[in-house]
Structure 1
Amino acid sequence: MDKTEPKIAAKSWDPALEGEVRKRWNSEGLYSFKPAPNSYTIDTPPPYPSGRPWHIGAAAHYSQIDMIARTARMAGKNVYFPLGIDRNGLPVELYTEKKHKLRMRDINRDEFLSLCRGTLDELEAEMLDTMEALGLSCNVRDCYRTDSDEYRTLTQSTFIHLWKKGLIYKATRPNNYDWTSGTTIADAEISYEELPTKLVHMKFTAGTGQITIASTRPELLCACRAVIVCEDDERYSGLVGSEVTVPVYGNKVPVLAHPSVKRDFGSGAVMVCSYGDQNDVALFRELGLSEVAAIGLDGRMTGIAGAYTGLRPKQAREKIIHDLEEGGHLEKVEDILHRTPVSERSRTPIEIIPMEEYYLKQVDSIPRIRELSKDLQFHPPMHRQILENWLDSVSMDWPISRRRYYGTEIPVWHCASCSEPYVPEPGRYYRPWMEQCPADSCASCGGTKFEGEQRIFDTWMDSSVSPLFISKYGKDDKFFESTYPAGLRPQAKDIVRTWLYYTMLRCDQLTGKRPWSEAWIMGYGLDERGQKMSKRAGNSIDPLPLVKRIGADAFRLWSAGEVSHGHDFRCNEDMMVSTKKFLSKLWNVSRFLSGFSSADAEPSAEPDRWILSELDKLVSKCQEGYEKYDFFVPAVAIREFTWNIFAAHYIELVKGRAYGDPGPGRDSAISTLHRVLSTILLLLAPITPFITDYLWRELYSKDSIHLESAPRPSGAPDMSSITEQLTAFNSTIWNKKKELGLSLKDSVEAEVPAGLSGFASDLCSMHNIGEKP
């Protein structure tokens, strides 16, 4: 049969076609889910619409999560791939304050919550547009929201359940405090930055002499309650057990020996204040010292600071350094970089302030979580260490209450007479700050007046029950049994110690089971210079206009092929655009083959058997990568094979036979060409779902490629020894023609190597060998 006009008329792939393909998916209900035993649930991270544009690194992340879902479906799994939007917490409050130029506590609480909801709606709409454009195979428009009454009901119900189990309590303890946002934060919400500061060497009076103490927090002299020195430091052996006088304030404090002191830091003597850092907290407890509050909830020095009352700590630091020098108490000041704890949200250095908060017991659960994590498979394995390091560091229970507005309210009322807490029955969404207490009277004293709790939960209290919410925990037992535990938790590495850990903790406390069997951890999206991308740094790229311009498939292919899974990746727009070249190559190959009706013939020629051997190697390589959800492996392998083996060598090699007279040789060539192309499309489908589905339907089936199973190796005989000989011979001929100034169609004198004798006929036709130029 002669070659006909290409069935695919368009000469290039148009990203605008992605919209048509997506509409067809939606109309067909291609990704609908029906629960069945052993469903494969993906506990997809609900993204946070905290500002615009949406982080391009997050767009790459969610593209690869979608590749996981598509890979699992092609492996025969019944995939449940829900999507949620995280709408609780501090970021939206800060964004709303900035947008409307107001402070949260300066307006009515309900009015502020309404502004937050409006802000979230606007930001969420753009985020969902981006997700839809990326081709996520979940029902993007039917996502759950963590600020819905239904979700908040679940969060409150789990709190009530754990309260009744005795796992939650109230206590006044030193807490990490972010004065910018006005709330307590957990250890897991702290990051550490090397910030420039001053190491101040101060002279304390010791009898008739002096002792020098170095500190980065001289403004806390008013809260100094002891000085500690190294146990075997001969410089201070005579002072241990005596008292020294604090400069500026004049009060006396004891000198104690302690093993935590590093004799080579500063002067080797350390003042213990309430509270400079967590080490101070531990020392105050251990040494039985009486605490004082040097810094208030407004982030300013309190009355015990004397002349520095009302100043910010940084202002007080500058003033007290001046006063130390004026009073002859300053030895020297060094400029250093100091590892400083800062709030991950506001980037403000945290202070430690005694506050009453609700706590969820976690210290006693660490051995259990450690045991559960042993059977949790990490992709890649190296990121298991993040969780292990965090488990090693947990030393106190989790403070779960926050003094903010936009979040799930803590469902507690307190008796106005005796302060006895009343915790209602689970089952509905409670707002104690604006609702009457469900109880008529206090069970303790009989009082009839109650005060509703004003605080909300730490946002991780909501996020940590995501696998329970999506599996309809407590609502639909049959659905829950088929979807929980989930199969996979995909997420970024920076929230292993928060979202991953807290979810394991909470779900185990509530169900006695690990929430998933696998964890897939992605690295950070960096800018071109290797710096972490963030809206705060101003180096983000808006993904939506880019995806509309170059197409989702090009973006997704860049994401998969940029770096091996789990490592940080650089977001270079030029690199993203360059991936379109491969899609153009794939389109051109498909358009060329669309002119040949697909034949069903066994490979009768040696070149056909060779390319099928190479195809088997490709399938095995891709299978290896897909099983690990490492899309870098198939993305690179498919591109290399398609461009540099299939198109450059095999297609050129068999064109003559494919265009030739009807017969077994022609049928073998055409059948092999389509077999290879169809396999390439199947292998590439999870990564570039649009172009592969379009071409599949044009060439091979009226049904979507995404209903197909992943290809498996055919067992073709290994002919890889031929590959190097063949590619080397072809390169030699092409170079020779170039040197002679000949076109590729011109004839050239050459001899086919003996090792390629089975290829001789096709090679002579390909290179026009044997005829005089």
Structure 2
Amino acid sequence: LMVCTFGDAMDVEWWKTSGLALKQLIGRDGRLLPATIGEAPFESVDAVAAQRAHDEVAGIYVSKAKTRIAGLLAEDGSLPGWDGAALVGEPSPTDQMVKYYEKGDRALEFVPTRQWFVKILEHKEALLAQGDKIQWHPAHMKTRYSHWVEGLNQDWCISRQRYFGVPFPVWYMIGPDGEPDFSQPIYAYKASLPVDPLTDTPPGYADEQRDVPRGFTAEPDVMDTWATSSLTPQIQSHWGTNEARHASLFPMDIRPQAHDIIRTWAFYTIVKAWMHSGEIPWYHVILSGWILDPDRKKMSKSKGNVVTPDDLLVEFSSDAVRYWAARARLGTDTTFDPGVFKVGKRLSTKVFNASRFVFLQLEAAVGEGEMPGVESITDPLDLALVERMRVVIDQATLAFESFDYATALQVVEESFWSFCDHYLELVKLRSYAEDDSPGKRSAVATLSLALRAYLRLLAPFVPFVTEEVWSWRFATGDQPSVHTSRWPGVAEVEAVPRPDHGETYAAAVEVLTAIRGAKTQAQKSLRWPVAKLEIIGTANHRDALAPVLEDVLRAGNVDADVVAVSDGPSPDGQRFTVVVELAAEMPEESKS
């Protein structure tokens, strides 16, 4: 035997499955309701005494009723068939797990009310099958959907007792006794929708008949948020008003949302699409995480730990804020870290400055003339860079096609920094050359091709600076904006030959980095001469370096006659052992 109020959903489930009578003694205002003791469901072995006791607590709040009930139980004769009082000693408090209103300090009480429901418990298998038809990104998030459907224990309650919301277009007839007849609802005609039953009248009635006997009364409830937002795909496709448009847009391609509302927004949208048309609402759902504060707590307006973006936009730029957002991986919570905004701002600045540097070289090389085409790319270093571009374009495209924009950003960003820090230094002097040599034309064509590709690859992440730079030289009649230009593809460089060795670019970067590192460690300028340069590596690595060694020496300010390349084992994690001996002093002619 268990005598209690409804403490949780399990209590309600036990009550329903056991077929027990409902003895509702608490009203919606928190006061105890009147009851007729001795009549079902309030049977009693001493109805008179029980009625007398109940009348003393009826109409008062639960907290006060508890105190009065304890007093009644302490009186003699309070337990039929027992001498003395039913309560022996002083009552003592007990600890129990109860639910509280999120903005209150009192325990909740369950009160039965009339609600609107959509049957979903009998459709679990069908809803699981619908979930299987959708691509989830990241894939493991589908488990949350499946677990939610499998664990459903009640139908979907779509009604709420609020002021704002979409009303139910329903009225009820009122009988001669002034009570509404809920068994005979009056529904609004489809052609008259939308209607508000609190202000509009049902068919065949006049407003004077509202809330009077033999008249009508309005359904006061409004729809749950998810009951309406679950129709967002159909609303956008103009379902019911433009069937041609709906057929072309539904199911939609993607739903972007956070992982915490898989069980609500995603689930109910799937429910509605299946129930209305037997379809899935979209082919893909991409799931983001939360934004966490420095204490690793979810940022929330109710917690007061949110940050509005206005100051961030001013301090770091719009591009930097978008960069920060794009760094967040799908399904993963992201900490609010000002350091990432700084990295984004630094990237935007680098795009601007590096592009200006490239355009200055292009201007010096061809002026307003026609840029050399990809067929001019013949130098081994340039071929090696184009080969890296092929890989970057493929990886970024594949990541975007998988909706993994964070990986796309990582791949493009790492490659762009290498382009700026290494390739521009390696090719600079060759592109500066005054003679119109094949090497210069190859460098200029490669710079133009690479920058055009990087601007388009970076445009989704830093859209404003890439648009500005694009307008300087690349904007044309058919491609006026970087955001309407075609996404880069490896077909653009199909005419460029493959390099003879796959590690040529990496070999050049490694040796140049060693030379520059030695100068930096010695606190010398990068123009400081090198007295001796020894490069030791395996035959395979030496073969990779040989075609670009001239570019490396030129960028490192090293004379060819002080270089020795010899055979030897490669150190762990490197291709070469590089020994750099700097000159004792700067020659007079170099100082100027």
| TM norm. shorter chain > 0.5 | yes
**Distance in 1, Cα, partners of 2:282 & 2:114:** 34
Match of 2:353 in 1: 588
Change over 3 Å in CA distance of 1:348–1:556 after alignment to 2: farther
Q: Report deviation, 1:483.
A: 1.1
Q: Report deviation, 1:495.
A: 1.4
Change over 3 Å in CA distance of 1:554–1:356 after alignment to 2: same
* Residue type at the aligned position of 2:342: V
Q: Report deviation, 1:667.
A: 1.0
**Distance in 2, Cα, partners of 1:583 & 1:695:** 11
**Is 1:438–2:227 an aligned residue pair?**
no
* Residue type at the aligned position of 2:481: S
**Is 1:626–2:400 an aligned residue pair?**
yes
Match of 2:444 in 1: 670
Change over 3 Å in CA distance of 1:424–1:332 after alignment to 2: closer
Match of 2:18 in 1: 287
Q: Report deviation, 1:656.
A: 0.5
**Distance in 1, Cα, partners of 2:34 & 2:291:** 46
> Of 510, 529, 554, which aligns to 1:765?
554
Matched position secondary structure for 2:507:
helix
Bigger strand fraction: 1
**Distance in 1, Cα, partners of 2:283 & 2:126:** 16
Select the structure with the greater relative contact order (CA < 8 A; seq sep ≥ 6). 1
Match of 2:144 in 1: 386
Change over 3 Å in CA distance of 1:472–1:594 after alignment to 2: same
> Of 118, 121, 143, which aligns to 1:363?
121
In the alignment, is the contact (CA less than 8 A) between 2:162 and 2:221 conserved in 1?
yes
1:220-231 aligned at under 5 Å gives the runs: 226-227=1-2
**Distance in 2, Cα, partners of 1:453 & 1:526:** 41
Render the CA deviation track for 1:561-585: whole Å, top value 9, x for unaligned. 2x32211111123432332011111
* Residue type at the aligned position of 1:406: F
Match of 2:294 in 1: 528
Q: Report deviation, 1:405.
A: 1.3
Match of 1:208 in 2: none
Change over 3 Å in CA distance of 1:376–1:641 after alignment to 2: same
* Residue type at the aligned position of 2:259: K
* Residue type at the aligned position of 1:426: K
Match of 1:705 in 2: 482
Q: Report deviation, 1:330.
A: 6.3
Match of 1:653 in 2: 426
In the alignment, is the contact (CA less than 8 A) between 2:32 and 2:57 conserved in 1?
no
**Distance in 2, Cα, partners of 1:321 & 1:693:** 76
**Is 1:501–2:264 an aligned residue pair?**
no
Change over 3 Å in CA distance of 1:723–1:759 after alignment to 2: closer
* Residue type at the aligned position of 1:375: K
1:46-61 aligned at under 5 Å gives the runs: none
Q: Report deviation, 1:588.
A: 0.9
Change over 3 Å in CA distance of 1:724–1:671 after alignment to 2: closer
In the alignment, is the contact (CA less than 8 A) between 2:159 and 2:224 conserved in 1?
yes
1:231-380 aligned at under 5 Å gives the runs: 272-299=3-30, 310-311=60-61, 327-328=88-89, 333=94, 350-380=108-138
Matched position secondary structure for 1:491:
strand
Matched position secondary structure for 2:114:
strand
* Residue type at the aligned position of 1:759: V
**Distance in 2, Cα, partners of 1:506 & 1:489:** 15
In the alignment, is the contact (CA less than 8 A) between 1:635 and 1:684 conserved in 2?
yes
Match of 1:421 in 2: 185
* Residue type at the aligned position of 2:459: A
In the alignment, is the contact (CA less than 8 A) between 1:610 and 1:722 conserved in 2?
yes
Change over 3 Å in CA distance of 1:550–1:614 after alignment to 2: same
The answer to which of 732-741 and 316-325 deviates more is: 316-325
5+ long unaligned stretches in structure 2: 36-53, 75-86, 207-212, 363-370, 537-541, 563-582, 587-592
In the alignment, is the contact (CA less than 8 A) between 1:274 and 1:292 conserved in 2?
no
> Of 317, 328, 331, which aligns to 1:566?
331
In the alignment, is the contact (CA less than 8 A) between 2:57 and 2:69 conserved in 1?
no
Match of 2:228 in 1: 462
Aligned length in residues: 493
Match of 1:747 in 2: 529
In the alignment, is the contact (CA less than 8 A) between 1:410 and 1:456 conserved in 2?
yes
Render the CA deviation track for 1:383-404: whole Å, top value 9, x for unaligned. 1111111101222222222221
Change over 3 Å in CA distance of 1:555–1:690 after alignment to 2: same
Change over 3 Å in CA distance of 1:309–1:451 after alignment to 2: closer
Q: Report deviation, 1:331.
A: 8.1
Match of 1:3 in 2: none
> Of 231, 253, 256, which aligns to 1:487?
253
Matched position secondary structure for 1:709:
coil
**Distance in 2, Cα, partners of 1:453 & 1:520:** 38
* Residue type at the aligned position of 2:14: L
Change over 3 Å in CA distance of 1:327–1:311 after alignment to 2: farther
**Distance in 2, Cα, partners of 1:296 & 1:555:** 51
> Of 466, 474, 484, which aligns to 2:240?
474
In the alignment, is the contact (CA less than 8 A) between 1:493 and 1:522 conserved in 2?
yes
Change over 3 Å in CA distance of 1:383–1:342 after alignment to 2: farther
1:713-752 aligned at under 5 Å gives the runs: 713=490, 714=493, 717=498, 719-749=501-531, 750-751=533-534
The answer to which of 718-727 and 576-585 deviates more is: 718-727
Matched position secondary structure for 1:283:
helix
Render the CA deviation track for 1:55-86: whole Å, top value 9, x for unaligned. xxxxxxxxxxxxxxxxxxxxxxxxxxxxxxxx
TM-score normalized with structure 1 length = 0.59
Change over 3 Å in CA distance of 1:527–1:347 after alignment to 2: farther
The answer to which of 394-403 and 477-486 deviates more is: 394-403
Q: Report deviation, 1:273.
A: 2.3
Match of 1:50 in 2: none
> Of 594, 600, 608, which aligns to 2:373?
600
**Distance in 1, Cα, partners of 2:31 & 2:22:** 17
Q: Report deviation, 1:448.
A: 6.1
In the alignment, is the contact (CA less than 8 A) between 1:411 and 1:453 conserved in 2?
yes
**Distance in 2, Cα, partners of 1:319 & 1:673:** 88
Matched position secondary structure for 1:389:
helix
Match of 2:466 in 1: 692
1:190-201 aligned at under 5 Å gives the runs: none
**Distance in 2, Cα, partners of 1:461 & 1:289:** 31
RMSD over aligned Cα atoms? 3.0
Q: Report deviation, 1:329.
A: 7.4
Render the CA deviation track for 1:451-477: whole Å, top value 9, x for unaligned. 122221112121111111111111111
Give the percent of matched residue pairs that are identical in Structure 1 and Structure 2.
Answer: 27
The answer to which of 645-654 and 295-304 deviates more is: 295-304
In the alignment, is the contact (CA less than 8 A) between 2:527 and 2:556 conserved in 1?
yes
In the alignment, is the contact (CA less than 8 A) between 1:324 and 1:330 conserved in 2?
no
Change over 3 Å in CA distance of 1:532–1:556 after alignment to 2: same
**Distance in 1, Cα, partners of 2:406 & 2:267:** 27
Change over 3 Å in CA distance of 1:287–1:743 after alignment to 2: same
